[in-house]
């Protein structure tokens, strides 16, 4: 029951040491040429081999090294093979920090002040008290809930939306299409932390932006495919939206002359909101593999029908 990890050397070495210390009974290999493909039961990777089903006929579980699995859900994964997304404290804490940073910057109108600085203007802009600011999250999974909990001490009016009902203390929770529309009309800063599925592709579009109150802002940290970039630019240029923090785009990187690079109302970062921390990721993977070996469901098991 060999485990094969396909990743860059630094991360592999951290995983190798952790497995040797905590789960030595599972053979750990990082060179696909040094293992009989029929012996591979567990695969840790981000990208997948095109002939995965034929190459690894006895594969049982694929562990993604990232929180997203949209790059794998359309892969030729053999029937019955489990797909497990990464849930680990390092990635969660980085995303939480980026969301808090972005929300506070938008709350205090930092993009507008940066543009004023560029124009050498000294103007005090209107502000809103935190208990009057409505902040909402699309996606109430691990990252969404961590972000909302981190925002609680600031006093914002917090809400979240998910496909199915969820109850979270101190958070107004919405679900389903009607719930989404109801939440959007009461949102000043919208944060996208959804998984990318056929249903959520381009969910951040002109119709959604039109539901937001005039002067609302966006934090886009989900996947590039969630955002209709032209619709965002139109909403910003029409002054319906005030500003946006964008960490993920489609494609990545953007073409050199894309308007998002230089738009005065956009803060653009190069997909840096979150990153898997090798040490805690190895611990999380080992814990999940122990669950599997004991006949239990791993944390982060993907539902193929939902895509997350």
**Catalytic sites, residue numbers:** 223, 271
Q: Hey, how many other C-beta atoms are within 10 angstroms of the C-beta on 198?
A: 10
H-assigned helices in 152-219 = 176-184, 206-211
Q: CA-CA distance, 62 to 65, in Å (whole number)?
A: 10
In sequence order, the 6+-apart residues with CB closer than 8 A to the CB of 253 are 270
C-beta of residue 245 within 8 angstroms of C-beta of residue 105: yes
Q: Report the 10 Å Cβ neighbour count for 229.
A: 18
Is residue 55 exposed (0-12), middle (13-18) or buried (19+ Cβ within 10 Å)? Answer: middle
Question: What is the H or E stretch that residue 285 is in?
Answer: helix 278-293
Residue in the structure block whose two tokens are 């098991």: 301
Residue of 245, 244, 219, 277 whose CA lies nearest to 92: 277
Tell me how far the alpha carbon of residue 282 is from its chain's centroid: 19
């Amino acid at each position: 029951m060999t485990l094969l990890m396909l990743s860059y050397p630094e991360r592999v070495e951290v995983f190798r040491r952790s497995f040797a210390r905590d789960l030595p009974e599972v053979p750990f290999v990082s060179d696909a040429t040094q293992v009989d493909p029929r012996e591979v039961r567990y695969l840790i990777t981000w990208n997948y081999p095109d002939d995965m089903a034929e190459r690894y006929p006895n594969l049982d579980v694929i562990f993604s090294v990232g929180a997203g699995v949209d790059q794998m859900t359309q892969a030729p994964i053999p029937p019955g093979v489990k797909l497990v997304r990464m849930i680990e404290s390092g990635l969660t804490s980085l995303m939480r920090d980026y969301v808090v940073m972005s929300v506070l910057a938008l709350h205090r109108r930092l993009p507008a002040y940066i543009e004023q600085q560029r124009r050498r203007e000294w103007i005090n802009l209107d502000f809103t008290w935190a208990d009057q600011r409505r902040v909402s999250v699309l996606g109430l999974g691990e990252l969404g809930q961590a972000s909302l909990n981190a925002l609680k001490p600031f006093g914002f009016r917090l809400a979240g939306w998910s496909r199915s009902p969820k109850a979270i203390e101190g958070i107004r929770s919405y679900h389903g299409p009607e719930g989404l529309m109801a939440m959007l009309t009461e949102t000043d800063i919208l944060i996208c932390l959804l998984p990318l599925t056929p249903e959520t592709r381009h969910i951040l579009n002109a119709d959604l932006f039109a539901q937001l109150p005039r002067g609302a802002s966006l934090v886009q940290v989900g996947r590039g495919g969630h955002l209709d970039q032209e619709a965002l630019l139109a909403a910003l240029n029409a002054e319906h939206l005030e500003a946006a923090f964008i960490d993920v785009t489609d494609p990545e990187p953007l073409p050199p002359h894309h308007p998002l690079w230089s738009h005065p109302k956009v803060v653009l970062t190069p997909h840096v909101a979150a990153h898997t921390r090798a040490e805690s990721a190895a611990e999380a993977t080992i814990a999940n593999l122990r669950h599997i070996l004991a006949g239990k469901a791993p944390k982060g098991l993907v539902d193929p029908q939902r895509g997350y």
